[in-house]
Amino acid sequence: MEEKINVLEMVADGFSAVSEDTAESNPIQSAMVGALGYVYRRATEAAEKGDPVAWVSFSVPTEIFWAMDIVPVCDIGLTVFCAIPGAVEKYIDLAEEFIPQYVCSTNKLPMGLLLSGDAPLPNVYVAQNNPCDSILGVDSSVAKYLGLPYFGIGTPYLKSEKGYLYTARELKRMVTWLENHTGRKMDFGRLQQAMKYSNQAHELVLKINALAAQVPCPFPMPESASLYPLFMNLPGTPELVNCLETLYREIQHRVNNKVSPVPFEYEEKLRLVWIYAMPGFDFPNSLNELMQEYGAVSIIYMNNHITVVPTEDLSDYDKILLGLARKSRNMPMSKEGGGPWEDWGDNSVEMVRYYKADGAVFAGHIACKSNWAAAKLVKDKVLEETGIPTISIELDFIDGRVTPAEAIKSQLVDFIELILARGKQ
pLDDT one-digit tens code per residue, 93-105 = 999 999 999 999 9
Alpha-carbon separation of residue 410 from 289, 299, 399, 416 (angstroms): 12, 19, 18, 10
The pLDDT value recorded for residue 424 is 61
Kindly report the CA angle at 174 between 233 and 195, in degrees rounded to 5? 50
Return phi, psi of residue 259, to 5°: -95, 130
**What is the average pLDDT across 314-327?**
97
Percent of the chain with pLDDT over 90: 83
pLDDT over threshold 90, residue 144: yes
Which of the pair, 320 or 421, is modelled with greater confidence?
320
Query: 71-74 and 53-56: which strand pairing?
Result: parallel
Return phi, psi of residue 363, to 5°: -90, 95
Kindly tell me the burial class for residue 162, based on how many C-beta atoms sit within 10 Å of its own C-beta (0-12, 13-18, 19 or more). Answer: exposed
pLDDT over threshold 90, residue 84: no
The SS3 assignment for 73 reads strand
pLDDT over threshold 70, residue 83: no
pLDDT over threshold 80, residue 119: yes
pLDDT in tens, 28-77: 999 999 999 999 999 999 999 999 999 999 889 999 999 999 999 999 88
pLDDT over threshold 90, residue 191: yes
The pLDDT value recorded for residue 1 is 42
For residues 176 and 174, what is the distance between their CA atoms, to the nearest angstrom? 5
Q: Which stretch of 58-67, 75-84, 136-145, 243-252 has the lowest confidence by average pLDDT?
A: 75-84
The pLDDT value recorded for residue 278 is 92
* 340: Cβ contacts below 8 Å, ≥ 6 apart: 157, 158
Give every strand in the sheet of 296-301, ordered side by side.
296-301, 270-274, 359-365, 390-395
The SS3 assignment for 213 reads coil
Number of neighbours of residue 267 by Cβ within 10 angstroms = 10
For residues 412 and 354, what is the distance between their CA atoms, to the nearest angstrom? 22
pTM of the model: 0.95
**What is the average pLDDT across 363-392?**
95
C-beta of residue 66 within 8 angstroms of C-beta of residue 241: no
Query: With helix as H, strand as E and coil as C, how does 257-307 read?
Result: HCCCCCCCCCCCCEEEEECCECCHHHCCHHHHHHHHHHCEEEEEEHHHCCC
For residues 143 and 114, what is the distance between their CA atoms, to the nearest angstrom? 10
Which of the pair, 2 or 17, is modelled with greater confidence?
17
Q: Which stretch of 49-58, 79-88, 331-340 has the lowest confidence by average pLDDT?
A: 79-88
Alpha-carbon separation of residue 116 from 5, 79, 95, 375 (angstroms): 9, 16, 9, 36
C-beta of residue 271 within 8 angstroms of C-beta of residue 297: yes
For residues 145 and 95, what is the distance between their CA atoms, to the nearest angstrom? 13
Q: Which stretch of 10-19, 34-43, 131-140, 315-324 has the lowest confidence by average pLDDT?
A: 131-140
The SS3 assignment for 361 reads strand
Find the length of the chain: 425
Percent of the chain with pLDDT over 70: 98
For residues 19 and 170, what is the distance between their CA atoms, to the nearest angstrom? 38
pLDDT over threshold 90, residue 239: yes
Q: Mean of the per-residue pLDDT values for the chain?
A: 93
